[in-house]
């Protein structure tokens, strides 16, 4: 019986090592130490033994029982501790980790993108930014720019008048007058801003839109400087393959004046329905600043030359992104912006 007892003890300790869960541990406990367990069986059968044998076996059996109970207890404690450690690891929260992005990010409006592209290309050529007010004097918006009161070209731009002297500027060109009157030449300016015209909104018109004016004042300037400047930002916005050309035109504030065309962004210049078969698309006006304007603003036109251009940012954005309705640009619908 002593031998059997030793076997039970050894066997139980060996199996204890293999136990994988608390449930298995409990089962083994019952199997060995429970009321009908193996060890209990031995203790029960001791009645048949002689008092000496009984004393000896009893001692060993109690020692085995105690040792096993301790081993079971230790194993159980280790299991509980391990389970807790695992749970803690799983639930651990590192508050220094970056958060999970759940707020949807917005997108830049195409006007902003195009403005920044033009601005940055020009800054690369030594330009700085300049701004003027949206509510402007008639004098700066028209008269100083060589458009006196009775000038027929005033009708080219339908104007929101506030009173007979003030209006909502119809273009960014009055900032040319402000710069010429206040800054010390030579200088190169890129002038962004909102402009206003009396127009019913439709696919190609908005009563408020955005222009960028460029103005360069220096001693010796030629049409080639103007063309090079324009070509630089056309390529920055539309890509290296897009060409630009100047086509003669008329503006009171420039002489000579030109429209800038770029090679069609849809067909690449072969001719398609978007460019009406010409291979070219008009994007803006420009020219050598009229000496009258320079003089009206207090500089000597014999000493100072200037060139200027004015571009509708929405028009450029429509061409760049293939947008067929300017209203989309101004409505700020996130579903539209996401597609760009």
Tell me which residues touch ligand DAH (CB under 6 A).
Answer: 171, 173, 213, 251, 253-254, 285-287, 308-310
Choice between 65 and 315, CB closer to ligand DAH = 315
CA 140 to chain centre: 38
Instruction: Find out whether 168 and 194 touch, Cβ atoms under 8 Å.
Output: no
In the complex, which residue's CB is closest to ligand DAH? 310
How far apart are CB 258 and ligand DAH at their closest, in Å? 8
CB closer to ligand DAH out of 233 and 309: 309
Nearer to ligand DAH, 206 or 254 (CB): 254
Alpha carbon distance 253, 86 (integer Å): 79
Between 75 and 178, CB nearer to ligand DAH: 178
Q: Which of 286, 233, 238 is nearest to 260 (CA)?
A: 286
By C-beta, is 211 or 263 nearer to ligand DAH? 211
Q: Which is nearer to ligand DAH, 156 or 340 (CB)?
A: 156
Output the smallest distance, CB 325 to ligand DAH, in A: 21
Taking the complex as a whole, how short is the minimal distance between the CB of residue 236 and ligand DAH, in angstroms? 19
Q: Which residues contact 331 (CB under 8 A, 6 or more apart)?
A: none
Q: Is 297 helix (H, G, I), strand (E, B) or coil?
A: coil
Beta partners for 211? Answer: 193, 312
CB of 272 to ligand DAH, least distance (A): 26
CA neighbours within 13 Å on the CB side: how many for 160?
15
> Smallest distance, Å, CB 123 to ligand DAH?
18
Q: Is 219 left (phi over 0), alpha (psi -120 to 50) or beta?
A: alpha
Q: Could you tell me the smallest distance in angstroms from the CB atom of residue 334 to ligand DAH? A: 30
User: 29 vs 173, which CB is nearer to ligand DAH?
Assistant: 173
Smallest distance from ligand DAH to CB 250, Å: 10
> Nearer Cβ to ligand DAH, position 9 or 305?
305
C-beta of 42 vs 317, nearer to ligand DAH:
317
* CA dihedral of residues 151, 155, 161, 164 (deg, nearest 10): 20
Measured from the CB of residue 337, what is the shortest distance to ligand DAH in angstroms? 26
Angle at 208 between CA 324 and CA 233, to 5 degrees: 65
Q: Cβ 319 to ligand DAH, closest distance in Å? A: 17
- Taking phi over 0 as left and psi of -120 to 50 as alpha, with beta for the rest, 160 belongs to beta
Nearest to 307 by CA among 255, 241, 250: 255
CA distance 278 to 257: 21
Token pair listed for 76: 């159980």
Q: Are 319 and 281 in contact (CB under 8 A)?
A: yes
* Secondary structure (3-state) at 187: strand
CB 261 within 8 A of CB 234: no
Question: Alpha-carbon distance 164 to 134, whole Å?
Answer: 16
């Amino acid at each position: 019986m002593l031998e059997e007892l030793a076997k039970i003890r050894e066997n139980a300790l060996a199996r204890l090592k293999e136990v994988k869960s608390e449930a298995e541990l409990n089962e083994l406990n019952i199997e060995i130490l429970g009321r009908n367990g193996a060890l209990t069986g031995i203790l029960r059968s001791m009645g048949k033994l002689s008092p000496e044998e009984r004393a000896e076996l009893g001692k060993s059996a109690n020692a085995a029982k105690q040792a096993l109970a301790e081993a079971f207890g230790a194993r159980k404690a280790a299991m509980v501790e391990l389970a807790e450690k695992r749970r803690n690891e799983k639930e651990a929260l590192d508050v220094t980790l970056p958060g999970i992005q759940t707020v949807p990010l917005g997108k830049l409006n195409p006007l902003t993108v195009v403005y920044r592209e033009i601005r940055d290309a020009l800054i690369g050529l030594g330009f700085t930014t300049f701004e003027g007010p949206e509510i402007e004097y008639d004098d700066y918006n028209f008269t100083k720019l060589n458009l006196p009161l009775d000038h027929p070209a005033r009708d080219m731009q339908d104007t929101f008048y506030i009173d007979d002297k003030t209006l909502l500027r119809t273009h960014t060109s009055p900032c040319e007058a402000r710069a010429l009157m206040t800054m010390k030449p030579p200088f190169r300016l890129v002038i962004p801003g909102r402009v206003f015209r009396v127009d019913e909104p439709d696919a190609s018109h908005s009563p408020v839109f955005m222009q960028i004016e460029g103005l360069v004042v220096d001693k010796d300037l030629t049409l080639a400087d103007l063309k090079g400047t324009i070509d630089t930002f056309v390529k920055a916005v539309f890509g290296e393959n897009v060409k630009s050309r100047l086509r003669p035109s008329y503006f009171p504030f420039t002489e000579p004046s030109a429209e800038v065309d770029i090679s069609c962004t849809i067909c690449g210049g072969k001719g398609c329905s978007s460019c009406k078969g010409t291979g070219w698309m008009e994007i803006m006006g420009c020219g050598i600043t009229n000496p009258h304007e320079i003089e009206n603003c207090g500089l000597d036109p014999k000493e100072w030359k200037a060139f200027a251009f004015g571009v509708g940012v929405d028009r450029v954005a429509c061409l760049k992104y293939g947008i067929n309705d300017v209203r989309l640009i101004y409505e700020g619908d996130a579903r539209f912006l996401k597609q760009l």
